[in-house]
Amino acid sequence: MITGVWVYVPTWLVQDGEIPELAPGAWLRSVGLRLAAAGVRAAGGAVDGVVPVGQPDQDGSVFGYEVTGAAGVPRDVHAAMGQAGTGGAIGRVGVEFSLTAGAQAFVVLAPGAAADYHAGDRLSVRGALWVLAGYEWDAFGLPDLRRDWRVNAVKAEHRSAGRVTAVVDLDRMRRWDDDTVSPPGRVDYVVEVSPVPAGTPAADW
């Protein structure tokens, strides 16, 4: 079982109230994680697990992992190709499948098509982990991989012009203050979480 991973949380999930303002020691309840794939390869002799990987430059996510495990049934993902609200044509934007690494499973969003992957394939997928919004499970028919997590640390990752400009330690989230950056850009929360064993009472954590 993994002991702890850094996971991205979009600020809008906190501002909407779906995710509470987290601080170290808090629980993140009934949440699943998406691995946004930057690269996929056959696992070969790699051991199943979750391994931190460094990023080559600031254009990528600062906190990345390579997850090795068994793929679930793949399905093509389609979305509007034009700007939001313009009624653009629907096209394939990638493929989704579960990836089980030991006791932990993730939903992978990867480049390519469902025909490129097969259930049972052993793959090594490199990318960043993101909290899935609650509506996505039912809206997109995703396999239910939700579980409870304990929050160990909280950071804010600042970007401007697509590049990471700062990563700031936080004592807790402040949903209406943390997304202000100078120069204007984007802020995402990053939390280090550990999986809570099923059936663990809150008092034991």
pLDDT digits (tens, 9 = 90+) for 86-124: 556 777 788 999 999 998 999 999 999 999 999 999 999
Q: State how far the Cα of 189 lies from the Cα of 168, in Å rounded to an integer.
A: 9
The pLDDT value recorded for residue 56 is 47
Report which of 83, 71, 59 is spatially closest to residue 35, judged by C-alpha positions.
71
pLDDT at position 203 is 52
> Containing domain of residue 91, as a range?
5-204
What pLDDT was estimated at residue 88?
64
**pLDDT value for 132:** 94
3-class secondary structure, 98? strand
The whole-number pLDDT of residue 26 equals: 96
To 5 degrees, how large is the angle CA 172–CA 176–CA 179?
A: 80
Domains identified in the chain, total number: 1
| pTM for the structure as a whole | 0.87
Q: Which residues of the chain carry a pLDDT beneath 50?
A: 56-58, 205
Distances (CA, A) of 72 to 123, 142, 148: 11, 11, 22
